[in-house]
Amino acid sequence: MAFEDNNEGIESYVNKNVSQTGIGIANLPNQLHKIVTKKGTDFSIILVGESGTGKTTFVNTLFTTELITPLDDSTRRKKQCDKTVDINIHKAELEEKNFNVKLNVIDTPGFGDYVDNNDCWHPIVDFIENQYEQYLRQEQQPVRKGLVDMRVHACLYFIRPNGHSLKPLDVRAMKAIGAICNLIPVISKADSMSPTSLKLFKKRILDTINAQNIRIYTPPVESEDESVTSRNRDIVSAMPFAVIGSSTEVVAPDGRVVKGRKYPWGIAEVENDEHCDFKKLRSLLIRSHMLDLINSTEESHYDAYRTAQMKVRKFGEAKPKATDNKVFKDEEEALRKRFTEKVRLEENRFRQWESKLIAERDRLNKDLEAEHNLVKQLEAEIEAVQTSSPGNRFNRK
Amino acid sequence: MLVGVSGLGRRTFVNTLCEREVIPPPVAEDPEMAHMVEPMKFNKYETQMIEDGTNIFLTTVDTPGYGDGIDNYSCFTQLQEYIESQFDEVLLEESRIRRNSKYKDNRVHVLLYFLTPTGHGLRELDIEAIKRLGHFVNIILLIGRADTFTTDEIALFKLQVMKDVMTYELPIYNFGWDDESDPETLEENQEIQAIVPFSIVGCDEVVDGDYGSIRVRRYPWGTVEIDNDDMSDFGLLRYILLNSHISDFIDYTNNVLYEEYRTQKLNENKDDESEEEKEEDDEE
């Protein structure tokens, strides 16, 4: 009992100290605020989706500045013959109220655009894992200042509204990407679906995601503030987000100037919650959950990668590279074929040469033998002549 | 025949065209199987319509599953085989001694190719398909779900598509193929050619308008009228398909495309036969 008394005593002692004197621990968040504001942060997002799903427009609308310039026709046609998925990194530095963000937007032209789209998500998965790898290596360096952190914090997967459900390509790609990165599915060009079909489409997508065990990003809902919790709940219930992108401003019938798309039959507004979920997605990406995206990338995804790698590799060892880029494989095959072809030709040539030489040698040998026989014959004749005329001693000299 | 990736409104288009439900709604896919690629199917639907006093027996072949897989090369070969098999049947029938008087001609007269409204011209899938099929069937390009585009974007997209058609020399149906027709028709055809590809919006519901019931598609920001020529080319396409150019399509298929195929097939047979004779000669 005396023991318990002691415990209680210490508890009350601790509480009293803080509430009465206030040593200034409460000021820590302010200090942190100053430090973070000065340091700024890195934020990287990767856009994945077929061409024409509105990725470029969406990004330009989200950050209200033309980060990515759309391709022109001739570049596009060249790309069509390319049959590869490119990784294009667009860097920008955004500043708002003295807070700096080093933004990296990664575009993936060529994804899902070709007739044969097998493994088209591999370059993307490789890229994301490479960023983890780079960060891992940099962490292991003796000098760790000036770390370049290109780890991808969010992947926006643009789904084309086909009115039914996810395509097999979408399912496989999302499975692969969602396992290593925060995956946020987005329904693009939502202005081509009526509200009822959109609801049905969203439900089907969620059903498929659950059935196929695709891991998507779910923001934390509960928070101390009741209004924040309800807002979070709104956001989560609207997933996957249906967005419209537009960087042009149009005049609505009631006189407002809004960002939107002007049709002959009306104006679809970007920032109107009844028309699309753009505001909710923007809130998720920037206003409310950017920090959570960054943290979850660093804490769960990167950590999982790091643990897995460290189990199999020694400290400081390089990662075994898997070269399974299809185009390179094809080129390698072609080169190898040419090489073996050349080697075969040369070997043939040498063999022919060899047989020619052997033939030549045989011929010469034959001639030699013929001569030899001739000589023998003559010798024999001489002997014969000598033995037939014994008196002729002249020849023996 | 309707060809296009899923979600472009093929089914809705046919139902709107015939003003009744010809193609039933698709069976909802099982989410557990969503990662499996469904093979392409050829579904035939037959319906009868009266257009401007003429009785039309319309056979629609729908191709769900086209372009929906991960590797779509087999889609082209399947389409080509289907169309060629119809030609082969006719070829066989023609060479019979006693012809079946009730023989039904199953040749495909028009292939409506639905383009995806990407905003960036043709995709590799479209180019390859048209290249291979344009010599066997009349291909008409349509823009499915054209209500994704604003008026400016439609004009730009149409321009991009036609530029691509010229760059890759794609064999689509040329409305002005008959040079011998009168100048009025020729001019009309040239005008039509300038509207290709046709922008199509499918109809969800019928509402009461000022002048009776109109077919519409409703959005929170406005309503699209299907039969309004400012909003979509559906009315024009319907008129061309079932009224003004229906005989042109059939003529072109029977007299030009089929004849080319027949000539090529018979030449092949002749080559095979002469090769067989040569082999026999060699053996002797």
Q: What CATH number has the domain bearing residue A151?
A: 3.40.50.300
Interface test with B, best of A263, A271, A273, A278 (most B CBs within 10 A): A263
- Contacting residues of B for A266, CB less than 8 Å apart: 219, 221-223
Closest approach of B32 to chain A, Cα-based (Å):
5
CA triple A278-A282-A288, angle to 5 deg: 140
- Contacting residues of A for B68, CB less than 8 Å apart: 167-168
Selecting from B71, B121, B224 the residue whose C-beta is nearest the C-beta of A265 gives B224
Interface test with A, best of B124, B126, B162 (most A CBs within 10 A): B124
Q: What is the ipTM of this complex?
A: 0.81
A171·B35 Cβ contact <8 A: yes
Q: Which residue has the higher pLDDT, B39 or A131?
A: A131
> Same domain, yes or no, for A265 and A387?
no
| Whole-model pTM over 0.80 | no
Q: For residues A275 and A261, is the Cβ–Cβ distance under 8 A?
A: no
> Same domain, yes or no, for A278 and A359?
no
> Same domain, yes or no, for A373 and A225?
no
Q: Is the residue at A22 inside a domain?
A: no
CATH hierarchy code of domain B2-283: 3.40.50.300
Mean pLDDT of A53-66: 82
> Same domain, yes or no, for A176 and A290?
yes
A211·B32 Cβ contact <8 A: yes
* Full residue range of the structural domain in which residue A383 is found: 334-392
> Same domain, yes or no, for A154 and A179?
yes
Tokens at residue A290, please?
A: 């950017």
- Contacting residues of A for B233, CB less than 8 Å apart: none
Q: Give the number of domains in chain A.
A: 2
| CA neighbor of B177 nearest in space, from B165, B167, B185 | B185
- Contacting residues of A for B148, CB less than 8 Å apart: 189, 191-192
> Same domain, yes or no, for A288 and A385?
no
CA atoms A239, A52, A121, A71: torsion sign:
negative
The model's pLDDT over A348-380, given as tens digits with 9 standing for 90+, comes to: 999 999 999 999 999 999 999 999 999 999 999
Mean pLDDT of B240-261: 84
A263·B147 Cβ contact <8 A: yes
The model's pLDDT over B100-109, given as tens digits with 9 standing for 90+, comes to: 766 677 788 8
Where does the pLDDT of residue B47 fall: very low under 50, low under 70, confident under 90, or very high at 90 and above?
A: confident
The model's pLDDT over A151-193, given as tens digits with 9 standing for 90+, comes to: 888 899 998 887 677 888 888 889 888 888 889 999 888 888 8
Q: Is the residue at A384 inside a domain?
A: yes
Where does the pLDDT of residue A387 fall: very low under 50, low under 70, confident under 90, or very high at 90 and above?
A: confident
> Same domain, yes or no, for A306 and A387?
no
B31·A113 Cβ contact <8 A: no
> Same domain, yes or no, for A164 and A293?
yes
> Same domain, yes or no, for A152 and A260?
yes
Which residues 257-286 on chain A approach chain B with CB closer than 8 angstroms? 261-269, 274-275
> Same domain, yes or no, for A82 and A126?
yes
> Which positions ≥6 away from A143 have C-beta within 8 Å?
none
Q: For residues A75 and A67, is the Cβ–Cβ distance under 8 A?
A: no
Q: Is the residue at A4 inside a domain?
A: no
Please report where in the chains the tokens 């709940």 appear, as a residue. A233
> Same domain, yes or no, for A204 and A173?
yes
Mean pLDDT of B58-81: 85
Q: Does A52 touch chain B (CB under 8 A)?
A: yes
A267·B222 Cβ contact <8 A: yes
- Contacting residues of B for A262, CB less than 8 Å apart: 150
Where does the pLDDT of residue A80 fall: very low under 50, low under 70, confident under 90, or very high at 90 and above?
A: low
> Same domain, yes or no, for A309 and A344?
no
- Contacting residues of B for A203, CB less than 8 Å apart: none
A116/B125 Cα distance (integer angstroms) = 9
Last residue of one domain, picked from the residues A297, A320, A343: A320
The amino acid sitting at A6 is N
